[in-house]
Every structure is written in C-alpha cells, then in structure tokens.
Amino acid sequence: MTISLTINGDPLEYSGDPRRTLLSVLRNDLRLTGAKEVCGEGFCGACTVHVDGAPKVACLIPMGTLSGRSITTIEGLGAPDMLNAVQQAFVDHDVVQCGMCFPGMVLSMSHFLAETPHPTRDEIKRAMTGNLCRCTGYERIVDALASIAPAQEALS
Amino acid sequence: MIHASSLQEALDHQASGAVLFAGGTWAMRGPMDRPFVTLSGIPGLDLIEGQGGQLILGALVTHEALARALSTDPGRAALALAAGKSATPAVRRMATLGGNICTADFASPDLVPALLVLGACVTIVTAQGVEDLPLADYLATPPGPHVLTHVKLPAVTGRSTHVRLMQRQAGEYPLAALSMALKADPDGTIRDLRIAVGAVEARPRRWPALEAALIGCTPDPAALRGIARDLSDFIGRDAVDAPGWYRTRVLPGLVARAFATLTAPEGR
Ligand SMILES: Cc1cc2nc3c(=O)[nH]c(=O)nc-3n(C[C@H](O)[C@H](O)[C@H](O)COP(=O)(O)OP(=O)(O)OC[C@H]3O[C@@H](n4cnc5c(N)ncnc54)[C@H](O)[C@@H]3O)c2cc1C
Ligand code: FES
Ligand code: FES
C-alpha cells in the first residue's frame, strides 16, 4: 500500500513497511537529519516535527498513520536569511551549545508561542518539558523565548 | 498495519493476533514484529459529550483534548490535572484515554486513578457483544480480547484533585500518584471521599480503608498523615526509578497535599 503525504511541502509517496517510524524515513531515506534520534522512546523531544502544524515526536509515529498528513521538519521552517522569531532569538541570545536538542526545541517553542503569545516564565518552562537539553542551557533558552513577545509588540 | 473502519473489523484482526493501535505511545515502544490495527477510522471514538450531568468520552480522546475540555470543570479537576500533567506536551497530543486504561502492564497511568475517584464506567466490545462495567471491575478482572470504546463519568457534586510525586517536575512517570474526590459539609464533615493510588502497585486502585475511616469525620489535617500511614495496605513495586518502600512511604504526604488542596477556600 502506498501512503501519500507531504514533507516540507514536497509530496512523498511511501510504500515501505508501514510500521517504520517517520523519524527513520526522514533521516535515512530523505536525509533530513535535523530531527535527531536520541532516546527513541518519546522522552527527549530531539525528534520533534510538526504533523499538520502540531509538534509530535517522530520516533513514535509509524508511517502507516500519516496518509494525507503534512509534515514540517526544521529544514522546512524559516531559511538561513529568514529565521523565524524563535530561531532569531536563539541566535541573538547565543543559546545553542552542542545543538542536539535545538531542532526539536525550535519546533516545539514556535508552536507554543503561536498559541500563547504572552507566556510567563513558568508557562515557558512547562511547555519545554518535552525537550531535554543535555547541555542544560535552560535559563538562557527561557530568556530568549521571554524576549520575543515584548520585542514583537514593540515592532507592531 | 491495518486500518479498521468498524469495531467488528478491529475485533476480527485482534483475534488473529494484531495489536490495537491508538496513540501508539506505548505500542511503538514494544515488539514491532506483530501487525497493528489502527482505531482512528472507527467513527465516534473521539467523542466528548455532556449528557445531563454525565460526561461521555471516546477512547481516542487524547490527553491534550481531555485537559482542554475539562479546564472549566472543577468537579473533574482530578482528570484535567492528570491529563494535563502527564508525560510531555508532544506525547499528550498523541496518547489516548483508551490507551491509558488498556495498557495492562503500565503501572503509572495518570488518568486511571482520576477516573476511579470520579466513578467512571467503561464500555467495551467483545466477540460476545457490548458491555458496560465499572472501571474498577475492568481493572480487577481484565477481559479477554476487547476494544474499549467509551468512558462514562457520572454527574459530580464535590471537588477533586490529582497529585503526583516526581523526581523532576515533569516529563517522566510519577513515583506515586494520588487522586482524591471530596464532598464535605460547610463545617468540614466529610460526606463522601474517594481516594485512588497509581504507580505504587502494578495497577492503580482505590484505598477503601482510608476512605471508610474518614467519611463522617472532620479530620484534623495535622493528624491525616498518621491515619494514612496506619491504614496503608499498599505493597510498593520495585522498579528502576524507585524502590517499593519509598513509594508507600510518600503516600501519606500525598494524601495530606490532596486534602489541603481540596479544603483550601479556592481549592480544587
Ligand atoms: C515519554 C513518555 C512519557 C509518558 N508519561 C506518562 C505519564 O506520566 N503518565 C501517563 O499517564 N502516561 C504517560 N505516557 C503515555 C502512555 O504511553 C499513555 O498514557 C498510554 O498508556 C498509551 O496510550 P496510547 O493511546 O498511546 O496507546 P497505544 O500505544 O496505542 O496502545 C497501548 C496499549 O493499549 C491497547 N489499547 C489502546 N487503545 C485501546 C482501546 N481503545 N481498547 C482496547 N485496547 C486498547 C493497545 O492494544 C496497546 O496494547 C507517556 C508516554 C511517553 C512516550
Ligand atoms: S528520539 Fe524521539 S523523543 Fe527522543
Ligand atoms: S545544546 Fe546540547 S543538548 Fe541542548
């Protein structure tokens, strides 16, 4: 059975084992290696992608459930000369260390800020619980995210 | 991977060895050599519907949808908190109510103790037909091959809450979890009390000895821990995150925390 979906706007026809994970297909077949394979169990968030706009962990999603879905990976979000607000804030606050957690962090937090434009620090921390940063730069990540809402208000 | 479009189809595939697949957050971490049968094509399983005071929830309602739907329902705060604090935001978008109840080897499903104190009944479909039964009976005697289709919650009059003891604030399984539903007179006399404990034993269950000891009383909050300690008959489960003795030792503290929340002026 062939499964049709889109990845970063491009159509994909998949006819392999439907139990294979989206993460494996992204990384091994499509060479979209932004989503990282770390725990493989849903705990760390390094493999986060958007499925129809909502962040989910690609390591627990079998291809067979994705017919008609639209997937966005970090490669499909912003562009080097046109970063989104979260990507830009992470650069400006120099928060990236090894970078392993960041593709997932950016995808989770971009969605969170779109839903919660004026978050408190506690709300930001709660929203980050599914994205582990083993380099533990959490406070700077929170600072960067907290800077976005007021900055956007000042611009508008 | 088979996509069932009716309950009968799901049951037929289950009978020939396929594993039911709801949110996949448990199934995808198990053996991958068996076929999965997805439930998402069966109509009506994502239902959230109030009927009078009763609430009917489909098995495929996600933790996220549940937390959202119950955010303005103080009587069912136990379930809203359990759904809204379990796992992580991304996992809550995937994991389902039915999966939480039906994962027989999961000791720490947060929704189950909350459902127990709210008096939930479940609807299951087997080869013999449709059956409604109390959740407690379902847990005590797990049925053979079945699909759980709905959960029914009766009308509520009191308040409820759900507390979890964690190593970190979030993002992992609780070492112990406790749900409490309380109805008290204005003078503090307890009219009705239900307490259920998760993560401590192999499956969540009610705490009838403590409930019975407190109903009709006006307990002194300071004495509550001692009463809970004396009446605990839980045998804690050893696992990598905590030894069994630790899980039982923290229960009186969780009782006190839940009770304090429910008796605070604006508590829930
Ligand atoms: C990182 C991580 C952390 C988590 N932390 C928590 C937590 O703190 N608290 C918590 O409560 N949960 C937690 N969970 C979620 C837990 O996996 C789910 O709550 C739930 O147990 C599985 O739901 P599911 O829909 O994903 O089930 P699935 O994985 O699809 O199925 C699980 C099992 O249930 C059976 N099943 C599913 N639906 C039905 C049905 N309708 N009828 C009959 N059988 C059915 C399946 O056959 C399978 O055996 C966590 C998950 C992850 C990945
Ligand atoms: S690799 Fe998917 S959550 Fe860790
Ligand atoms: S920057 Fe290294 S894991 Fe987050």
Cα four-point dihedral sign B26, B35, B44, B147: negative
Last residue of a domain, one of A25, A57, A77: A77
Residues of B at the A interface, defined by Cβ within 8 angstroms? 1, 3, 21, 24-25, 28-29, 32, 36, 38, 40, 87-91, 93-94, 169-172
> B159 with B181: CB under 8 angstroms?
yes
Last residue of a domain, one of A55, A77, A99: A77
Nearest atom, ligand 1, residue B174 CA: 8
Query: β-pairing, B36-38 with B19-21?
Result: parallel
Closest residue, chain A, to B35 (C-alpha):
A19
Amino acid at B177: A
pLDDT of B268 reads 45
Contacts of B32 in chain A (CB under 8 A): 19
Question: Which range marks the domain in which residue A99 is found?
Answer: 85-155
A48 and A94 co-located in one domain: no
Q: Show the 3-state SS of B176-239.
A: EEEEEEEEECCCCCEEEEEEEEECCCCCCEECHHHHHHHCCCCCCHHHHHHHHHHCCCCCCCCE
Q: Quick check: A156 pLDDT over 60? A: no
Cα four-point dihedral sign B106, B109, B115, B117: positive
CATH of the domain at A94: 1.10.150.120
Of all protein residues, the one whose alpha carbon is nearest to atom 4 of ligand 3 is: A133
Token output for B149: 């289709």
What total of structural domains would you count in chain A? 2
- In B95-194, alpha helices (H): 97-102, 111-117, 135-140
How does residue B144 score in pLDDT terms, banded at 50, 70 and 90?
very high
Residue B61 phi/psi, 5-degree rounding, is -60, 130
Domain residue spans of chain B: 162-263
> B113 with B82: CB under 8 angstroms?
yes
Q: Quick check: B27 pLDDT over 70? A: yes
Last residue of a domain, one of A56, A77, A98: A77
Mean pLDDT along residues B201-228: 96
> Minimal CA–CA distance to A23: which of A77, A67, A73, A76?
A73
CATH of the domain at A16: 3.10.20.30
The whole-chain average pLDDT of chain A stands at 94
pLDDT of A151 reads 64
Q: Quick check: B138 pLDDT over 50? A: yes
State whether residue B56 is helix, strand or coil: strand
A68 and A116 co-located in one domain: no
Mean pLDDT along residues A123-152: 90
pLDDT of A153 reads 60
A7 and A50 co-located in one domain: yes
A66 and A15 co-located in one domain: yes
Mean pLDDT along residues A43-68: 98
Q: Quick check: A154 pLDDT over 60? A: no
> A34 with A103: CB under 8 angstroms?
yes
Across the interface, whether the CB atoms of B90 and A45 are under 8 A apart is answered yes
For the domain made up of B162-263, the CATH class stated in words is: alpha beta
pLDDT tens figures, B82-137: 999 999 999 999 999 999 999 999 999 999 999 999 999 999 999 999 999 999 99
Across the interface, whether the CB atoms of A130 and B88 are under 8 A apart is answered yes
- In A10-67, alpha helices (H): 22-24
Nearest to B89 among A64, A129, A132 (CB): A129
A66-99 CB burial, b ≥16 within 10 A, e <16: beebebbbbbbbbeeeebbbbbebbeebebbeee
- Angle subtended by helix axes A138-155 and A85-92, to nearest 10: 120
Across the interface, whether the CB atoms of A56 and B94 are under 8 A apart is answered yes
A21 and A48 co-located in one domain: yes
Name the minimum distance, in Å, from the CA of B207 to any CA of chain A: 31
A97 and A145 co-located in one domain: yes
Tokens 């978008």 correspond to: B93
Across the interface, whether the CB atoms of A43 and B88 are under 8 A apart is answered yes
pTM: 0.96
